[in-house]
Amino acid sequence: MRLITILILSSVFTCSCILWYASFLHEHDTVVRSTKKPNIVFILADDLGWGDVGYLNPHVITPTIDKLARLGVILNQSYVLQSCSPSRAAIMTGYYPYRLGLQGGMSRNAPTGVPLNLMLLPRKLKQLGYSTYMVGKWHLGFCKKEYTPNGRGFDQFYGFYGAAADHYTHVAKSGIDLHDDMKPDRTQNGNYSTYLFSGKAVEFIATHDKSKPFFLYLAFQNVHSPFQVPEKYTDMYPSVANNNRRIKLGMITAMDDGIAKVVNALRRHGLWDNTLIVFSSDNGAPQGEGSQGSNWPLRGTKGSLFEGGTRAVGFIHGSMLEKTGYVNNQLIHAVDWYPTLSAVAGAKTLDSEMDGLNVWNTLRKNDPSPRKEFVYNILERIPTAGIRVRNYKLIVGNPHFPACRVPPPERNINFEVECTTLIHNGVYLYDLKDDPTESFNLAEKMPQRVKEMNTRIEEYKKKLVPTLDPGISVAQLADPQNFGGVWAPGWC
Ligand SMILES: *[C@@H]1O[C@H](CO)[C@@H](O)[C@H](O)[C@H]1NC(C)=O
Ligand SMILES: *[C@@H]1O[C@H](CO)[C@@H](O)[C@H](O)[C@H]1NC(C)=O
């Protein structure tokens, strides 16, 4: 109790965050660090950009995210892949997706998934005594049961297998993509995805057997297209004239409300004090007309290896963190979550082939990160590769996605959209310490560094597995018409 009092007193004098404490730390809360294994709630947002949360853009209404981030640890150098499946594969395996054939993403029709010889994070945590729940978007393969969340270690799953379903009908292209464990759910037409998924997360929390710790992977459908949200959320942005941007902002706020419901449920069921929250985006936002996400001030869009596509909004929160209320500038990558969370859950050994590093001390007390370099990605179909070594970043090849800096409309920033000229077989070298917006290509000035970093890429490339998704040649196998109008396993 004394610690809380000190926190509250100091906050009265230093900031206006007294209300946060009032709502989060009720009278009976203790800040005593538990020796029990912590519960882990991993919240993944879909297509949320760097400029799409309140603590980085004051026009965005995300009170719960802002509170959790500011009272926790804001991750300022946390990286993901350029798109959905690759990032999810990295989080679930601890491997770079270019080693799994998942570097380029995966279509709904791909008769494949994350290679079955790998043990995914939920199964690992299950072995360590955890109950494992998943809600929301999978996008890591479903052509047979073994590839689905239920086949990969989740005790309970409620969500969808692919991407880009309608937020209300849960129909994607020509079939329903909504499942309660292995059964299709046809009863939720009209229930907005964020209401549905936060509601299910609350149900899992409510029925959880408290004698065990749990892992909840809550992969929201928001804020991915199609751009849909209940009107009450767009109404919260009356001054944003751009319609698409207003909807996108509404979707962000709806997700924030969903997170608030989950936090409240954890509190209500006495689980809050021993729960570690991880929040991350899966990739940067798609930018431009028709999508209207914002990665400002970073350069580039979802799909590109520039920072706007790969530097993730993220934070962690929980009583087990020794240092909180600051911005952590240590380098971490999506592949690090597997070994880190496994260690938190008590794992003693891990697969030595894994790319991820245990960064728990970096997160918990801001120790220097063991990570000094990482692979942004290596793609072979349209050859492009990106690597980071300390503060330097090299992109080589054909980074065909737009690499522009676009201020979001609501901020009225006087800035002409500015794009990097992308050339065939281009070489782009940046010093991100001095130039986080990738505005000055140093490749010609520093040929020696380019050469050294290229050599590293060539070394990493030796482990490349060609992209598994064969393209559209087998598209008809997955057709929902063959499965009663549902996207279902059973075709590989
Ligand atoms: C939407 O689904 C959630 C989770 O099952 C449920 O709690 C909520 O009542 C549903 N809303 C409607 C309008 O059916
Ligand atoms: C976050 O990173 C940026 C570099 O992109 C840096 O300029 C900024 O100071 C960092 N924020 C904090 C609070 O350390």
Q: State in Å: Cα 159 to ligand 1 middle.
A: 13
Cα distances (Å, whole numbers) of residue 115 to 349, 474, 483? 21, 19, 24
Q: State in Å: Cα 192 to ligand 1 middle.
A: 8
Closest-CA residue, ligand 1 atom 13, reads 191
User: 220 — alpha (psi -120 to 50), left (phi > 0) or beta?
Assistant: beta
Q: State in Å: Cα 135 to ligand 1 middle.
A: 14
Among 122, 146, 147, smallest CA distance to 133 is for 122
Considering all CA atoms of the chain, what is the largest pairwise distance in Å, rounded to the nearest integer? Answer: 65
Between strands 275-281 and 314-317, the pairing is antiparallel
Residue among 178, 196, 204, 207 whose CB has most ligand 1 atoms within 8 A, to mutate: 196
Q: State in Å: Cα 188 to ligand 1 middle.
A: 8
Is 410 within 8 Å of 237 (Cβ atoms)?
yes
Confidence at residue 291, expressed as pLDDT on a 0 to 100 scale: 72
Q: State in Å: Cα 3 to ligand 2 middle.
A: 29
Residue among 53, 76, 295, 296 whose CB has most ligand 2 atoms within 8 A, to mutate: 76
Token code pair at residue 311: 């530097």
For the purposes of burial, counting CB atoms within 10 Å of the CB of 465, is it exposed (0-12), middle (13-18) or buried (19 or more)?
middle
Closest-CA residue, ligand 2 atom 14, reads 327
Confidence at residue 20, expressed as pLDDT on a 0 to 100 scale: 41
Cα distances (Å, whole numbers) of residue 472 to 83, 108, 109, 227, 296? 19, 10, 7, 26, 35
Confidence at residue 188, expressed as pLDDT on a 0 to 100 scale: 98
Determine whether 419 is an active site residue: no
Instruction: Please count the other Cβ atoms lying within 10 Å of the Cβ belonging to residue 15.
Output: 11
Please name which ligand lies nearest the alpha carbon of 206: 1
Between strands 131-137 and 156-160, the pairing is parallel
Among 277, 284, 333, smallest CA distance to 90 is for 333
User: 95 — alpha (psi -120 to 50), left (phi > 0) or beta?
Assistant: beta
Q: Which domains does the chain have, with CATH numbers?
A: 37-371 (3.40.720.10)
Instruction: Please count the other Cβ atoms lying within 10 Å of the Cβ belonging to residue 428.
Output: 22
DSSP classification of residue 335: G
Please name which ligand lies nearest the alpha carbon of 158: 1
Token code pair at residue 268: 């209500």
Report the C-alpha gap between 432 and 255 in whole angstroms: 31
Please list the alpha-helical segments (H only) found in 354-473: 360-365, 447-461
| Total number of residues shown for the chain | 492
- Spell out which residues line ligand 2, taking CB within 6 angstroms: 76, 327, 329, 436
Q: Does pTM surpass 0.85?
A: yes
Token code pair at residue 310: 């790969």
Q: State in Å: Cα 311 to ligand 2 middle.
A: 12
Of ligand 1's listed atoms, the one at least distance from the Cα of 197 is: 4
Confidence at residue 288, expressed as pLDDT on a 0 to 100 scale: 72
Of ligand 2's listed atoms, the one at least distance from the Cα of 74 is: 13
Is 43 within 8 Å of 91 (Cβ atoms)?
no
Closest-CA residue, ligand 2 atom 13, reads 327
Confidence at residue 400, expressed as pLDDT on a 0 to 100 scale: 85
Digit-by-digit pLDDT tens for the chain (492 residues) are 333 333 333 333 333 333 443 344 343 344 445 569 999 999 999 999 999 999 999 999 999 999 999 999 999 999 999 999 999 999 999 999 999 999 999 999 999 999 999 999 999 999 999 999 999 999 999 999 999 999 999 999 999 999 999 999 999 999 999 999 999 999 999 999 999 999 999 999 999 999 999 999 999 999 999 999 999 999 999 999 999 999 999 999 999 999 999 999 999 999 999 999 999 999 999 987 667 899 999 999 999 999 999 999 999 999 999 999 999 999 999 999 999 999 999 999 989 999 999 999 999 999 999 999 999 999 999 999 999 999 999 999 999 899 999 999 899 899 999 999 999 999 999 999 999 999 999 999 999 999 999 999 999 999 999 999 988 766 789 999 999 999 999 999
From the list 15, 26, 28, 84, the catalytic residue is: 84
Cβ of 73 less than 6 Å from ligand 1 = no
Grouping H, G, I as helix, E, B as strand and the rest as coil, residue 128 is coil
Closest-CA residue, ligand 2 atom 7, reads 436
Instruction: Please count the other Cβ atoms lying within 10 Å of the Cβ belonging to residue 490.
Output: 12
Determine whether 167 is an active site residue: no
**Amino acid at position 376, single letter:** Y
Positive or negative, the Cα torsion across 467, 471, 473, 479?
Answer: positive
Of ligand 2's listed atoms, the one at least distance from the Cα of 327 is: 13
Residue 293: CA count within 13 A, CB half-sphere: 31
Residue with tokens 């009583």: 319
Angle between helix 243-268 and 63-71 (nearest 10): 60
Report the C-alpha gap between 294 and 300 in whole angstroms: 10
Cβ of 200 less than 6 Å from ligand 1 = yes
**First-last CA distance in the chain:** 57
Between strands 78-79 and 326-328, the pairing is unpaired
Positive or negative, the Cα torsion across 338, 343, 344, 347?
Answer: positive
Q: What is the percent of the chain where pLDDT is above 90?
A: 88
Is 111 within 8 Å of 142 (Cβ atoms)?
no
Among 38, 99, 9, 15, smallest CA distance to 462 is for 99
Q: State in Å: Cα 214 to ligand 2 middle.
A: 33
Residue with tokens 């697969």: 351
Q: What share of the chain is helix, strand, coil (3-state, %, to 5)?
A: 30, 15, 50
